[in-house]
Amino acid sequence: MLKALSAIGYLGMVGGLIGLLVTKSLISAAPLVIALQAAAIALMFWARITFGRRSFHLVANPTAGGLVTSGPYRYIRHPIYTAVCLFVTPAVAAHISWLTVFLCGLIWGSILVRIFCEERLVAARYPEYREYAAHTPRMIPFLF
């Protein structure tokens, strides 16, 4: 069930991103938006480099090789999802409409579904995840 939900979350996230791209609402010329999106890209690259050769799966599937707790994973448990939200949210704020807010909500909601599915699956594979999760926020230090 968790894997099926994570696939639905993935499709929702990709669908929302495609919707923002098609409506030309994913990129903005506003300097603050550009700065935040550049930070999001840097965070995503840092996370991918830290994660190593492990692959990203359509369906949440914890990979072999141990729990990654270094790099950005030292500060937040889901830096790639955080980067996606940091990239999308300022763009939506720059192109605010009912449609863009809906698409942003779809992306955020889909990411949350994936996070909760992945966390349960990773905790089942790596018992030390519970200790790591107790001391590391999901996405936003001191909040979530």
Whole-number Å distance between alpha carbons of 60 and 17: 19
Domain range list for the chain: 2-54+66-135
Q: Which residues of 23-43 are buried (b: 16+ CB within 10 A; e: fewer)?
A: eebbebeeeebeebbeebeeb
Determine the length of the chain: 144
Average pLDDT over residues 62-88: 92
CB 133 within 8 A of CB 79: no
pLDDT digits (tens, 9 = 90+) for 96-135: 999 999 999 999 999 999 999 999 999 999 999 999 999 9
